[in-house]
Chain A
Amino acid sequence: MTENWDQIGIPARPESPRRDGISASAVSRRFGQVHAVEHMDFHAPAGRVTALIGPNGAGKTTLLLMLASLLAPDSGTITVDGLDPQHHSAEVRKRIGWMPDTLGVWESLTAREILTQIARFYQLPKAGIPQRVTAMLERVRLSDLADQPARVLSRGQQQRLSLARALIHDPSVLLLDEPASGLDPGSRVELRVTLRQLAAEGKSIVVSSHVLSELDEIADAAVFVNQGKTVRHQTTDEASASGRRYAISATDGTALAAKLTELGLAFRVEDGRRPAVSLVLLNDDDAARLLRDLVLAGVGVSSFAPASGALEETYMNLEGERR
């Protein structure tokens, strides 16, 4: 999954003066005594996929609810394409597509009916609704199930329906709360492609997820949050530049260890299912050089691959710092 991680280029995106994405500055929100979000800063520029990463209860969903204009921050400001949700709620809502972590489908309605209703609620021109709905159903590959009641859809299919629902009014900002949970691998790849396409169209996309290897391939940048605070903001390029861990296993473990010691590299022996060592390499060139050295030295390398995604590396480091 991670081999092609560096092949993702930032697509050229149409520059539009009105589309400057969604941002929050110093937002706070309390629920009773619980500070769900405290002075959090967040920015998701247009044409990019921004990941929102953090452990359970870090305030991700609360932040997304505030960004979706459902929840008012106690303090701080949120702007969507330069507009404040408190005062221009209709304008803001036309621009926001929100896919919640709860599925929320009307079970007795068909996929087509649900999308038609939502299109009406967004006051799309009536004449165009059937075509728009059909196009959305095709986009999420639900055309075959369009006239089945939503209750017969599987979780993954409901998830895709939820994505279509969030996209029905062609929003410029897309907020996705755990979009990949419950999706099979094929659908995940598809979601990735869809999100990259949408970003290429100039939309600002926010994805919250735990599946970090997933985000490596989708996200251009990541905002790490924990305990209601923004912990770090970095692009995936920066994340990879800070080095990542590679796992190496060889037919003869001692020869591998000896060679690595000879090269003066710090490594650690992993206690996984297969005997392997892991070490941090700064960039792809380093990795290529090490592999060549090992092979030339006659070490029977049986696998040589990144042990974790770049974002996962940062995440785990943050976890470590916290302890």
Chain B
Amino acid sequence: MSELTDIPQRPAAAGFGAGYLAGIRDVVVLELKQRLRSRGWYIMLAIWFILTGLVTWLTWASWNAQREAQRAYSNFMPPDTGPGSMIFEVVLAFVLLFALLVAPALSANAVNGDRAGGTLAILQVTLLRPGQILWGKFFAAWAAALAFLVASTPFLIIGVALGGMTPGHVLVALLMLAVEVGVVCAIGVGISALAGRPLFSIVVTYLAVAGLVFGSLIAFGLGTGLSQGTIMANQAQYRNYEQLRPVPDETVAEEPAYTCSGPLRAQPTVRTERVAWMLAMNPYVVVADAIPYTVRVNSGFGMSSPVGAIESISQGARYAMAGPEGTYPCANGEAKPQYLAQSTPLWPLGLGLQLLLAGLLMWLGWRSLRTPAHRLARGTRIA
């Protein structure tokens, strides 16, 4: 929970620290009691478990089938890494997709649903402070959503068990999934405090999630079109391709496959670093970029390329973030590494922006919960 403590609306906490937390806990208890008694939640959880299991099994089966086919029709044998990485990636992508779909449903009617049921004013008239109500609703929604992640943990662990991955991957992946779900829950709770009707706030929250997942891609794509620029670069002299051969020496991999010479000239290019922050806000980018992967060594063909979806997403985003300064061949007369090291992570920026958005919505929601209320949204009754 520490990743959310910097959301700006936390009221001046001095004086009522313990009492404030106790109030939040009481609201969480009230919320969770209701959620645990609704059958729909269990049904969704069961469907979730079965679906994730099915996806895991199908991924494993298709990997096996592919392997059989390769064995039968060619002599080519890919490096035997086991299906772990693939299952892990597919399950992770699937779990993140469904978490992003489930979290708004669990959070986006938290406040205005109570308002419609007439129970919000009953809370507001007690000694509870608006922040306690809002945080309580948020943590309850988050806890309910985390149950879905817990249900999918076995399948992520299967990915490890089948080889190729370490427990660390599962831990980091689960942690980042939990944080992403938390961000969506905070957005949902914030919007539900602002919007009058539950249906409206749920739709808006889904749109916000769609904005993060697809909108960030579209915005990045459109943004790059507007980010034309130039870069000073000279000529790249590529090495003789005949020399390319499997190089067992690992140090060679870090060396670029070309040398730079000649005068620097302005070359047209796209300054992707100006719009890469939009890409960074994508939940998939945040999760993929946070998961550690070993810096790829020369894969045996002189060229190193990312392996697997997670790594590709992460590398692609970092490539965009680095911009031509870091990626254009011979920019400023320097050879650039083909592969961007993990030392420049992108996810803190993306997560920071997401937290900023969630924090802003929570703060606006908090404002709308203050009593005695001065302004009411059009058409809403307080009780």
Contact = CB atoms under 8 A, between A and B. Distances in A.
A pairs with B: yes
Interface of A: 31-32, 61, 65-66, 68-73, 85-86, 89-90, 93-94, 96, 98, 100-106, 108-109, 113, 117-118, 120-123, 149, 165
Contacts of A101: 383
A52 B122 CA distance: 21
Interface string B22-62: 01001001100110011000000000000000000000000
Contacts of A106: 30, 34, 119
Interface stretch (B265-273, B358-366, B371-379): B371-379
B124 interface: yes
Contact of A66 (B30, B124, B128, B372): B372
B275 to A, nearest CB: 41
B119 A105 contact: yes
A146 to B, nearest CB: 16
B74 to A, nearest CB: 60
Contact of A89 (B38, B123, B371): B371
Interface string B112-125: 00000111011111
B118 A93 contact: no
Contact of A121 (B118, B121, B123, B376): B123
B383 A72 contact: no
Contact of B122 (A72, A86, A100, A149): A100
A69 B121 contact: no
B301 to A, nearest CB: 62
A165 B33 contact: no
Contact of B372 (A71, A102, A121): A71
B263 interface: no
Interface of B: 19, 23, 26, 29-30, 33-34, 37-38, 117-119, 121-128, 371-374, 376, 378, 382-383
B38 A90 contact: no
Given A70-B121, A117-B26, A121-B123, 12 more contacts: A69-B372, A70-B373, A70-B383, A71-B371, A72-B372, A98-B125, A103-B118, A104-B118, A106-B34, A117-B29, A118-B122, A123-B127
A69 B122 contact: no
Contacts of A93: 125-127
Contact of B125 (A72, A96, A117): A96
Given A102-B118, A123-B127, A71 B34 contact: no
A96 B38 CA distance: 32
A6 to B, nearest CB: 36
A32 B376 CA distance: 9
A109 B34 contact: yes
B324 to A, nearest CB: 54
Contacts of B37: 108, 149
Contacts of A71: 371-373, 376, 382
Contacts, number: 84
B122 A165 contact: yes
A118 B29 CA distance: 12
A165 to B, nearest CB: 7
15 contacts: A69-B371, A71-B372, A71-B382, A85-B372, A90-B127, A93-B127, A100-B383, A108-B34, A108-B38, A117-B29, A118-B126, A121-B127, A121-B128, A122-B127, A123-B127
A71 B380 CA distance: 12
B371 A70 contact: yes
Contacts of B117: 104
Contacts of B121: 70, 100, 104
A182 B125 CA distance: 23
A70 B125 contact: yes
A86 B118 contact: no
Contacts of A120: 26
Pairs of residues from A and B, 6 with the lowest C-beta to C-beta distance, nearest first: A104-B118, A102-B118, A72-B372, A121-B126, A108-B37, A104-B119
A102 B383 CA distance: 7
B27 to A, nearest CB: 8
Contacts of B382: 65, 70-71
Contacts of B123: 121
A122 B126 contact: yes
Contacts of B38: 108
Contact of B376 (A31, A86, A96, A98): A31
Contacts of A102: 118, 383
B293 to A, nearest CB: 45
A319 to B, nearest CB: 26
Contacts of B19: 123
A70 B19 CA distance: 22
A71 B372 CA distance: 4
A234 to B, nearest CB: 28
A108 B123 CA distance: 16
